[in-house]
Amino acid sequence: MNDIKAVIGKINAIGVFCGASKIVSQEYMDLAFQCGEMLAQEGIELVYGGGAYGLMGEVYRGVNTHGGKIFGVYTQMLNEVEPLNDNITNCTIVDTLYQRKELMISRSDAFFILPGGFGTLDEFFEIIVLKFMRQHDKKLILVNYKGFWNKLIDLCEELKEKKFVKCSTELLYSTVSTLEEAFQLIKA
């Protein structure tokens, strides 16, 4: 059902993948909060990992503060590292990280990748591989805030140049510098 909505152009839910670290620079936290605010203002449901910390917690707070819709997907195995956001009202708890990604991907009509660590990279590449394998055709937008993802972008281009990737990376994901650009892309 979500695939059909995305194809006809209406974005109802965006999966936001980002870091859960509590010790990153405040500017990244502010970016995530702003993303949440913008989702709520656009009437787009946030689909996220259910965590309370870091950018993940801030994107939740941005949506929640502005009365937006939130769907969390959480796995109990993360509880000691990344506690579940106690305030979340619509959350599904799954057994594994794989099931978490699978549900977040299927529930979302498009994806934003904000700054993050290994988990965010895992989610980014999972979405790319599924898109490459034609399992979905949803927009994947890498928010390269202040050049955060420059080295990742360079790596992806090098994979293409050395023929390890068979298609143009632009067919798999889009890169923007600001949230405003990201929201413009999902409306296009």
Give the model confidence (pLDDT) of 155-173 as tens digits: 999 999 999 998 888 899 9
Q: In 3D, which of 12, 16, 8 has the Cα closest to residue 105?
A: 16
DSSP-based three-state secondary structure for 110:
strand
Domain boundaries, the chain: 2-183
Mean pLDDT for 178-185 is 97
Instruction: Look up the CATH number of domain 2-183.
Output: 3.40.50.450
- pLDDT band at 82; cut points 50, 70, 90: confident
Question: What is the distance between the alpha carbons of residues 41 and 67, in angstroms, rounded to a whole number?
Answer: 9
